[in-house]
Chain A
C-alpha cells in the first residue's frame, strides 16, 4: 500500500503524450472479460474480470421472501448483497458488512428494482449476491455489470440489462474507468449505471468535485463506454448457450456417449465454459 502522506505534490497521472499512467487514452476502458453461468447451484451467475477487478455474482429467485413480514403483496423484493473478500485488497479487509458495502448494496438493489418486472412475482424476493474477489477501483460498476448478466442468466424478466461504468477527473482531465491509483490520487470519481436501450440513469454517485461542464463530459464518456460494455454482456449471454448450439451441430452420437460416461446426476461444478 502506497504511503499517501509521502506522495510528492505535483504527481503526474497523465503523461506528456496525453495518455494515462497505464498507457490508456482518456476514453479507453480497461480490458473486460465476462463469463455467464459459472456456478451450478445458483439460478443464475456470472464472473467478470475488469482490469484488476475480479467479481463473482450469483442470483437466486424469485423465491419465497424471508422474513415473511418483508414480503410485499404487490411485487417482488429485489435484494442485493455486495461483499468484499478479506483478501480482495492489499491490506486485509475486515470481513462482514460495513458502511460502504451496505450503501453499495442499497444503490445496486435500487438500480435493479428499476428494470426487473417485480410485479409479476408478488410476495417473493430476487436475491443478488456480488462477491468482490479482487478489487482495483470501480468494483461497484463491475459488480453491477456482472449481476445484470447473472439476472438474465437466471431467467428473471426485466426491461433491459443494466450497464455500469465510472468516469472521473485526474490531473484536471476527465477520463473514463479510473483504476486504483487514479481513484486514490485523482480529483473526482463518478460511477453511473444506465439502461442502455432507453438511456435511463439508474445509479449516479459522485466522490469529489466536478464542474457542470466536466460532469457533462464525464456523463458522455460513461454513456459511450456503457455501449461497449453492453455488447460484452450480450456476448457473454449468447456464448453461454452457444455451447448447446455447437452440440446440436455435432452428430448426436458423441454427445450421447458423453452422457453414458458420466452418471446423469453428477455434474461438474463449473459451467459449460469453465472458469
Chain B
C-alpha cells in the first residue's frame, strides 16, 4: 500500500478486528460489541471505523460509479449493458446523449459496442440503471479494453488519481478506469501496450508499498529499451 510502515496483516473471515468503541465499516460485522472480518482482506482503521479491504470479489454497482459496459441486448427503448457485475444493467433511451425515436435504438448502439457510462441508481433489490447524461460518457471506439479485478481498481487509480495520471503522463495514453474493473486505453500501439503492462504490474502487486515508484521505473525502463534502438 502507499506510505511506509510494516505490511498490514491479512485477516480471514471470522477473525476479530476490533473491540467495543469501534464502528463496523465495509467488510466487517459486529456481534456482541466485537467486530469481525467478513472477508479475506487487509484490515484498515480510519476515524474509529474498521473496515476490511477485500483481496478478491465481484463488482457490486453503486450509484454514481463510472463504469465501462458492453451492450448485450437491444430493446425498443433501452439497451441492456453488461457491466461485469451479477446484475444486468439497462440503459434507457432517455438517459442516452441522443434523441432516440422509439424502436430506433439500434441506430445508436449495437450489440457488442462498448460504452463509458455512469450508474444512475441502484435500488434495494439491486436493480441497476445506467445513464450517459454526462460529459465523459460516450461510445468507445478503437483503443484497447482490458479487465482487472474490481478490488484492484482503487490501486490502479491511486490516491486522488495519482497512479492513473502517472501512467497517462509517462505513456501519453488516454486511460479510462471503470469502477467495474474494465480499463480502456487509447494511444499508439506501443504506448497502449506499455500502459497495459504497467496496469498488470499494479494488479499483480497491489499490496506492495512504493508501487507508484515501481510503476514509474517499469515504464521508464521499457521506454528506454524501445526508443533506444530506434534513435541509433
Interface residues of chain A, those whose CB is within 8 Å of chain B, are 43-44, 61-64, 73-74, 117, 120-124, 152-161, 195-197, 234, 237-238, 241, 244-245, 247-248, 252, 255-256, 259-260, 264
Contact B207–A123 (Cβ < 8 Å): no
Q: Pull 26 A–B residue pairs with CB atoms less than 8 Å apart, ordered by A.
A: A43-B56, A121-B126, A122-B125, A123-B125, A124-B87, A152-B12, A152-B39, A152-B40, A153-B56, A154-B56, A155-B55, A155-B58, A158-B38, A159-B38, A160-B14, A161-B12, A161-B14, A195-B14, A238-B10, A247-B205, A252-B210, A252-B213, A256-B214, A259-B197, A260-B197, A264-B200
Contact A123–B126 (Cβ < 8 Å): yes
Contact A247–B201 (Cβ < 8 Å): no
Interface size on B, residues (CB 8 A): 43
Contact B197–A43 (Cβ < 8 Å): no
Contact A244–B14 (Cβ < 8 Å): no
Find chain B residues with CB under 8 A from A153 CB.
Answer: 40, 56
Find chain A residues with CB under 8 A from B12 CB.
Answer: 152, 161, 234, 237-238
Contact B58–A63 (Cβ < 8 Å): yes
Q: Mark B217-232, 1 if CB is under 8 A from A, else 0.
A: 1100110000000000
Known contacts being A43-B56, A123-B87, A197-B14, is A157 close to B205, with CB within 8 Å?
no
Interface residues of chain B, those whose CB is within 8 Å of chain A, are 7, 10, 12-15, 27, 29, 36, 38-41, 54-58, 60, 86-88, 124-126, 151, 196-197, 200-201, 204-210, 213-214, 217-218, 221-222
Find chain B residues with CB under 8 A from A244 CB.
Answer: 204-208
Q: Which residue of B lies closest to A258 (CB)?
A: B204
Q: Smallest distance from the beta carbon of A70 to chain B beta carbons, Å?
A: 14
Give the residue of A73, A161, A252, A264 whose beta carbon is less than 8 angstroms from that of B217: A252
> Which has the most chain A C-beta neighbours within 10 Å: B12, B126, B197?
B12
Find chain A residues with CB under 8 A from B207 CB.
Answer: 241, 244-245, 248
